[in-house]
């Protein structure tokens, strides 16, 4: 977006086994860290007419090269992603009149992100959402994390996965895809264990952006990865999301205290402003929600696996966003803390309710709430989870 960047994207087609990607990619991939010459700027690699991936140098952070990758699908739609924070910087899609604009908040240059906007488009980790008092225990060991959100820990700490440079491998056989790798060292931000993380973004011809997350550790730790894209389906962040209509397959949600830490209750949504089992506009009942929506919904999953859990639609643009996941929870954040201080690349203020997040996740504060689905990862286990966002036009 200008807020919403001026590119079009969509993706699909995740790699079922990311190891395959490393083999297949030898012929067609570029290892970002290895690409140092200026010639690579605006290099275009095309392996098949339907899959195009462009890589351009965007800057550098912590002495590491930062690139911007443009994934294009058959319809010409585009998603841009940077290996700084794994940030989705734009997703340009046509509206009902064929006018293209980005449906996510983002900036045209790296400097916008270095000013620390609130997690725009980024991969969030090691733990997405809050951990009460920045502390948790595994067995008898207590771990202390940064309190970077009042008394609590939020989104991985002072320098979470959204603020680091990831290694990148691209693939252009089949749908364009980008695999990002990051080694989070033992003790980083207070978390135990060396955690090897891979996130593969794939953009399909169906305009799905597939995100496949995997991780392994060498000590017991906690992991909860998500993507923090802010959507505004109008493509214009100066129009609020209050008229967007939302449907969520969740018959319960997790009520929170003043610091947005779940009380532990799984509350029935019936008769509350949190009942989105049938579509409701966001503005309809938001005044009855203290501070606006910033809550975890307990997804009513029919079976294990990736499933459609939420649909957002906007009649103005005719666009629709569908969210598919295998995660048990969805944080619906209505952009309550956006206050106009951050400007789009075009100079427009990004105000309250300019965009919203639908973050697939395990529940907030799960490390301290034994009744919630566990987020503990042990050596020898594989963390693996898939979420897809799909943009289309309302029929
Ligand atoms: C949280 C909000 C927070 C926002 C940006 C969301 O995931 O739920 O409380 O303000 O991220 O940090």
3-class SS string, 8-19: CCCCCCCCCCHH
State how far the alpha carbon of 349 is from the alpha carbons of 3, 6, 302, in Å: 8, 17, 41
Q: 119: Cβ below 6 Å to ligand 1?
A: yes
**pTM assigned to the model:** 0.88
Q: What angle do CA 147, 328, 1 make, to 5 degrees?
A: 70
For the record, the structure tokens of 394 come out as 């309302």
Site of tokens 């966002």: 389
For ligand 1, mutation pick of 87, 156, 262, 333 (most atoms within 8 Å of CB): 333
Q: What tens-digit pLDDT sequence spans the chain (395 residues)?
A: 534 443 333 333 223 333 343 333 433 333 333 333 333 334 444 444 455 899 999 999 999 999 999 999 998 899 999 999 999 999 999 999 999 999 999 999 999 999 999 999 999 999 999 999 999 999 999 999 999 999 999 999 999 999 999 999 998 788 999 999 999 999 999 999 999 999 999 999 999 999 999 999 999 999 999 999 999 999 999 999 999 999 999 999 999 999 999 999 999 999 999 999 999 999 999 999 999 999 999 999 877 899 999 999 999 999 999 999 999 999 999 999 999 999 998 899 999 999 999 999 999 999 999 999 999 999 999 999 999 999 999 97
b/e string for 64-90 if b means 16 or more Cβ within 10 A? ebbbbbbbbbeeebbbbbbbbbbbbbb
b/e string for 258-292 if b means 16 or more Cβ within 10 A? eebbbeeebbebeeebbbbeeebbbeeebeebeeb
Indicate if 228 belongs to the active site. yes
Q: 334 C-alpha to center of ligand 1: Å? A: 9
> Does residue 357 contact residue 335 with C-beta atoms inside 8 Å?
yes
Protein residue whose Cα sits closest to atom 6 of ligand 1 = 333
Indicate if 181 belongs to the active site. no
Q: Which member of 78, 189, 327, 359 is catalytic?
A: 359
- Residue 364 alpha carbon, nearest atom of ligand 1: 8
State how far the alpha carbon of 205 is from the alpha carbons of 21, 88, 180, 314, in Å: 19, 18, 21, 22
> Does residue 92 contact residue 102 with C-beta atoms inside 8 Å?
yes
- How many of the other CB atoms lie within 10 Å of CB of 235? 28
- In whole angstroms, give the CA distance from residue 108 to residue 346: 9
């Amino acid at each position: 977006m200008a807020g919403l960047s001026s590119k079009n994207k969509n993706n699909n087609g995740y790699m079922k086994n990311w190891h395959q990607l490393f083999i297949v990619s030898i012929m067609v991939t570029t290892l970002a860290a290895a690409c140092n010459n200026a010639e690579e700027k605006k290099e275009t690699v095309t392996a098949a007419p339907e899959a195009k991936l462009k890589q351009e140098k965007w800057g550098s952070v912590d002495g590491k090269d930062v690139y911007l990758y443009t994934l294009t699908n058959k319809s010409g739609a585009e998603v841009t992603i940077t290996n700084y924070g794994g940030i989705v910087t734009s997703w340009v899609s046509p509206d009902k009149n064929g006018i293209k604009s980005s449906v996510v908040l983002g900036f045209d240059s790296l400097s916008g992100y270095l000013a620390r906007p609130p997690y725009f488009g980024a991969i969030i980790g090691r733990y997405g959402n809050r951990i009460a008092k920045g502390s948790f225990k595994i067995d008898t060991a207590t771990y202390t994390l940064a309190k970077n959100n009042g008394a609590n820990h939020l989104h991985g700490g002072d320098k979470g996965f959204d603020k680091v440079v990831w290694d990148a491998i691209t693939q252009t056989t089949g749908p364009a895809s980008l695999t990002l790798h990051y080694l989070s060292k033992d003790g980083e931000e207070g978390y135990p264990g060396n955690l090897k993380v891979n996130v593969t973004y794939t953009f399909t011809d169906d305009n799905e952006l597939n995100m496949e997350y995997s991780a392994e550790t060498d000590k017991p730790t906690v992991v909860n990865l998500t993507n923090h894209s802010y959507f505004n389906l109008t493509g214009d962040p100066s129009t609020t999301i209050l008229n967007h209509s939302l449907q969520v397959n969740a018959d319960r949600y997790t009520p929170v205290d003043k610091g947005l830490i779940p009380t532990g209750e799984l509350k029935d949504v019936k008769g509350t402003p949190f009942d989105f089992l049938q579509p409701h506009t966001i503005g309809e009942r938001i005044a009855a929600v203290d501070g606006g929506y910033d809550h975890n919904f307990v997804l009513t999953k029919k079976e294990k696996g990736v499933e459609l859990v939420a649909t957002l639609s906007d009649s103005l643009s005719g666009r629709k966003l569908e969210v598919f996941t295998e995660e048990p929870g969805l944080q619906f954040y209505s952009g309550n803390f956006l206050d106009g201080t951050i400007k789009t690349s075009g100079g427009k203020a990004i105000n309250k309710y300019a965009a919203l997040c639908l973050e697939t996740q395990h529940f907030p504060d799960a490390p301290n709430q034994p009744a919630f689905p566990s987020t503990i990862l042990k050596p020898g286990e594989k963390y693996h989870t898939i979420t897809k966002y799909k943009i289309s036009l309302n029929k």
